[in-house]
Structure formats: C-alpha cells, structure tokens
C-alpha cells in the first residue's frame, strides 16, 4: 500500500498541482487549505507525511507542526516556505520538521525530498530494530555489531578464547583490534592472570629489547636497578603485541626464539628465566607484503598466524553503523551529562553515508565531538567534522549564515575534493580524474585548503 500524504496549502493552484502530481506518482493524497482543518483530518486519519505551508489561515504552519510532533510522532513533516522565510524554516526543522522546500520548486524537487523522508523513516525503523538487537545482546565485551560477518568473529573469539593457540588479529586502523584482543583475554582461562600490552609502533628501536626482556642492574649506563621486562610481567598470563608489523627485524628473531623455547634472559643477565605466556598479535599492515620486502620474517609469520581473525573496515559493514551510533550516543550523553540528545535527519544521513577511513574510532570521535558541541539537544550537521557534511548542508549554510559567494564556493569545492579522495582511497590520480582536473591542479587545491591525501585536514 502506497504512503499517505496530507497537503496543507492555502494557494488553490499550488495545492491542486501538488495533489495531481503526487497522486499520479501513486501516493494517497488528501488536501486542505488551513491549519484547523488539517488538525481535524489528522485526528481521524493517519498520514505518513504532512506537507505544510508556513503561512496558513486559522493555525499557522509552525503551530500545526508542533501539534503534529506532540500527537503524531510517526508523521513526517515537510515545510513549504518562501525564500524570505528560510530562517523560520530552519526553526521549523529544530521543532521537528524533516526538511523544508522553498518556493518556487519543481515537481522533481518535491518528489526528491519526499523520497528522502521515506528513506530516512525506513532507516529509523531499521535503527529501532537494531537497537532492540543491541539491547538483547548488549554487545560482546564492548564489541557492538549487527552484521553476520561480525557475528562470525564473535563466534570465533568464543571458540578460541579458552585455548592457548596464538591469534593474529588483522584489520585497518580503528576497526577494533584491541577490543577483540581484550574480549579474547576476558574469556580465556588466564583472565585472572596478568594481561600486558605492548605497542610495537610506539617504542623506539633502541629501547625495544630492554622493554621486552628487562635488564639487570649495571647492564648499561643508567641501569641503576634491576627491571622486569614485558615477558616477565606477563608470565602465566597474556601478552598482546599490538602493531606487530612494526617490530624491528632484529627483535623478530629473538621473539621467535622466546615463543619456541619459553625462556628469556634479561639484558646483562646470565640466568635463564622460564615463562609461560599466551600470545595475541594485531596488525594493520599486510604482513605478506612486508615478508616480500624483507621487513618481516616469514618463519615468525607462520608461527603467529595460527588462528587469524580479520576485522573488515566499517565501510564494508555499514549495517553496524546505527547500532554503533546509538552506543556512542548513550556513552557520551552520560559522560557529558547531556540527556535526551537526538540527531537531525541530515546529520544522521551524513553519518550513515560516510565511508569512515578511520573506521569505528573515527565514528566514535565524531559522535563525542557532536555531543559536546550540541547545545539545544539536537545534533546537526554543523556539529560533525567537515568531511561528513552533505552538499545540502553547505547550501543551507550559504543561505542561513549569509557567507560570501567566494566562501560558499570554496567550501563546496573543498568538500567535493575530500569526497573524491575518500572514494578513491586517497589516490590523487584517480581523484583528479573523477573531478575532471589535472593532478597538479588537485595538488594545488589540496595545499590551499589544507587537505591531506586521506581526505582530512593536514
């Protein structure tokens, strides 16, 4: 059954024109010419959409909007406004309208905003369904998901956690590799034993060996006392090597020997120390490519890659985004004491359509930022990072904030470049071709706007 639309417009020609056009598109249409009649109709019949002119006899458009939002939450509202009333239309959106359309408008513009509203309503229903799933599941040790591929990862975690098999977690930066490692440890037989983490990308090569093996007093200048290394601290527990692909090549051979023998020596020490450790590894790099370039040992790779777990990037599991949004919104609303925060339709659409080169971490930071910046209980597109903003938001910004034509065009051009770079994975030649400009021109514009190849600010 087609959706039902109520048109409230006092201009007979416009009311009749919209009714005929939308009726020909297959929608059920009812119309009236003032706000009081509209209230009466809504009391007796449900409508999916109400298209309301701001200026109406009897009850004006804003009052009718508030009436609908108070009593008919499932009815989406589109406001019709004159160009001079754009500020009032923006207020209407704050009061709960989905969007506005300024006179004069074409049939194509009208049907486009209706389709967007219906698409958003379907997404809301999906979010509600996913929210119920999240509440029932309550995630898995901080891992919020809705997609089958993530469910398979959870099943694998549960299957291998209670063994001592080495695990290699692979995935782009920000996908949640450390969360997976934490979940494995929390469900392992060693969960009450030490859990030591070491980030191989964060330790200077000159300090790496002493961090891992520890040292005896007097082993080198500055070694004024004996210190245990990560191996000893993790004994009988779990040692998590994050970004194992960044481990110096010379240390890789020593790590392999420790894994195979279960024995270490502190720097400057002569006594062997027996250790019993469960190892988890993670990397955002392609270890097979590092092996080809002789930056990673092949024998170590096969020793640590006994049970691989690959976490796909967020852009390949977008069905997880609604559940993640809700989770982060709840976390940061509570953290910053901002209750009952909602997300505007444009902001929500931007969050769902973005490709997230920074994966879950980027989404988390975007929601935290938005919660902090929101002041009226509503997260709007202006509260999101620039790279999230849809084209419509820039149009509104140009009109509402009355920025200059030069500033508006520059903002629009900058975000088109960011979008092209994101879609092309940061490859400038492909992005330039997509934009129809030379690579040199693209580079100059990126430099002028402070854009890096990943699509963010320098």
Indicate which CATH number applies to the domain containing 226: 3.40.50.300
What tokens appear for 204 in the block? 């200077």
- Are 185 and 273 within one domain? yes
Can you give the CATH number for the domain in which 346 is found?
Answer: 1.10.8.60
458 assigned to some structural domain: no
Nearest 5°: the CA angle 174, 176, 177 is: 105
The number of residues in the chain equals 458
User: Cα–Cα distances in Å, from 370 out to 96, 131, 333?
Assistant: 19, 20, 10
Tell me what percent of the chain is helix, strand and coil, each rounded to the nearest 5. Answer: 55, 15, 35
CA distance 252 to 316: 33
Within its chain, how far is the Cα of 86 from the centroid? Answer: 31
What tokens appear for 364 in the block? 């988390």
417 assigned to some structural domain: yes
- Are 299 and 351 within one domain? no
- Are 69 and 30 within one domain? yes
DSSP 3-state of 304? helix
pLDDT tens, the chain, 458 aa long: 578 999 999 899 999 999 999 999 999 999 999 899 999 999 888 999 999 998 888 888 888 999 998 888 889 999 998 765 667 777 888 888 888 888 888 898 899 889 888 888 887 776 666 555 544 444 566 788 788 899 999 999 999 999 999 999 999 999 999 999 999 999 999 999 999 999 999 999 889 999 999 999 888 888 888 999 999 999 999 999 999 999 999 999 999 999 999 999 999 998 999 999 999 999 999 999 999 999 999 999 999 999 999 999 999 998 899 989 999 999 999 999 988 888 987 788 788 878 898 999 999 999 999 999 998 888 987 888 877 865 544 555 555 555 677 777 777 788 788 778 867 767 788 888 888 888 888 888 888 887 765 444 33
Given a contact cutoff of 8 angstroms between Cβ atoms, the answer to whether 389 and 412 are in contact is no
Report the chain's terminal Cα–Cα distance, integer Å.
51
Given a contact cutoff of 8 angstroms between Cβ atoms, the answer to whether 380 and 339 are in contact is no
DSSP 3-state of 311? coil
- Are 281 and 409 within one domain? no
175 assigned to some structural domain: yes
DSSP 435: H
* Cis status, amide bond into 104, omega within 30 of 0: yes
* CA neighbor of 80 nearest in space, from 50, 46, 59: 50
- Are 176 and 301 within one domain? yes
325 assigned to some structural domain: yes
- Sign of the C-alpha dihedral computed for residues 221, 225, 230 and 231 taken in this order: positive
Residue recorded with tokens 């502190």? 266
Choose one of 275, 294, 312: the last residue of a domain. 312
Beta bridge partners of 76: 49
DSSP 3-state of 214? strand
User: Cα–Cα distances in Å, from 277 out to 165, 230, 262, 264, 413?
Assistant: 11, 11, 8, 12, 54
* CA neighbor of 420 nearest in space, from 398, 405, 436: 436
What tokens appear for 183 in the block? 């979940």
Q: What is the secondary structure of 334-366 as a DSSP string?
A: HHTT--S-EE-HHHHHHHHH---TTHHHHHHHH
Choose one of 288, 312, 336: the last residue of a domain. 312
The predicted pLDDT at position 457 comes to: 37
- Are 307 and 321 within one domain? no
CA distance 384 to 391: 14
360 assigned to some structural domain: yes
Q: Against a cut of 0.85, is the pTM above it?
A: no
Instruction: Residue 291: give the domain boundaries.
Output: 148-312
- Are 373 and 226 within one domain? no
Give the alpha-carbon dihedral of 272, 278, 283, 287, to 10 degrees.
70
45 assigned to some structural domain: yes
Radius of gyration of the chain (CA): 29
Strands 76-81, 49-53: pairing is parallel
Choose one of 103, 131, 159: the last residue of a domain. 131
Instruction: Name the helix (H) or strand (E) containing 3.
Output: none
Q: How many domains does the chain have?
A: 3
- Are 201 and 250 within one domain? yes
- Residue spans of beta strands (DSSP E) within 147-223: 167-170, 195-199, 214-215
DSSP 3-state of 50? strand
Q: What is the secondary structure of 233-286 as a DSSP string?
A: HTTTSEEEEETGGGS-HHHHHHHHHHHHH-EE--BT--S-EE---EEEEEESS-
- Are 325 and 293 within one domain? no
């Amino acid at each position: 059954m087609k959706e039902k639309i109520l048109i409230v417009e006092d201009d007979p020609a416009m009311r009749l024109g919209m009714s005929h056009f939308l009726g020909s598109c297959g929608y059920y249409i009812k119309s009236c010419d003032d706000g009081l009649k509209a209230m009466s109709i809504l009391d007796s019949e449900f409508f999916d959409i109400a298209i309301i002119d701001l200026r109406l006899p009897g009850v004006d458009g804003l009052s009718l909007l508030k009436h609908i939002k108070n009593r008919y939450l499932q009815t989406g509202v589109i406001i019709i406004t004159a160009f001079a009333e754009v500020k009032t239309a923006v207020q209407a959106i704050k009061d709960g309208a989905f969007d506005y359309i300024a006179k004069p408008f074409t049939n194509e513009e009208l049907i486009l905003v209706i389709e967007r509203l219906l698409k958003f309503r379907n997404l809301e229903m999906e979010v509600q369904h996913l929210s119920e799933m999240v509440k029932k599941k309550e995630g898995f040790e901080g891992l919020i998901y809705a997609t089958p591929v993530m469910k398979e990862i959870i099943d694998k975690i549960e299957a291998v956690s209670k063994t001592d098999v080495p695990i290699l977690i692979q995935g782009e930066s920000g996908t949640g590799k450390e969360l997976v490692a934490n979940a494995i440890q929390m469900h392992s037989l060693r969960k009450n034993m030490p859990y030591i983490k070491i980030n191989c990308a964060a330790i200077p090569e000159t300090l790496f060996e002493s961090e891992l093996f520890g040292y005896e007093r007097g082993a080198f200048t500055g070694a004024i006392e004996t210190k245990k290394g990560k191996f000893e601290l993790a004994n009988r527990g779990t040692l998590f090597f994050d970004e194992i692909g960044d481990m110096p090549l010379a240390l890789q051979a020593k790590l392999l020997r420790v894994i195979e023998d279960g024995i270490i020596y502190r720097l400057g020490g002569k006594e062997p120390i027996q250790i019993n450790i469960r190892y988890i590894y993670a990397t955002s790099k392609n270890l097979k490519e590092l092996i080809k370039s002789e930056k990673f040992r092949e024998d170590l790779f096969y020793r640590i890659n006994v049970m691989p777990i690959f976490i796909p990037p967020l852009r390949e599991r977008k069905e997880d985004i609604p559940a993640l949004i809700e989770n982060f919104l709840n976390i940061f609303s509570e953290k910053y004491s901002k209750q009952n925060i909602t997300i505007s339709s444009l902001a929500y659409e931007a969050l769902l359509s973005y490709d997230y080169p920074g994966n879950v971490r980027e989404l988390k930071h975007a929601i935290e930022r938005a919660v902090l910046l929101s002041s009226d209980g509503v997260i709007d597109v202006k509260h999101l990072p620039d790279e999230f903003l849809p084209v419509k938001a820039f149009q509104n910004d140009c009109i509402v904030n009355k920025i200059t034509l030069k500033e508006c065009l520059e903002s629009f051009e900058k975000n088109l470049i960011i979008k092209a770079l994101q879609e092309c994975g940061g490859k400038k030649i492909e992005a330039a071709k997509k934009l129809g400009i030379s690579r040199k021109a693209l580079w100059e514009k990126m430099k002028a706007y402070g854009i890096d190849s990943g699509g963010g600010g320098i």
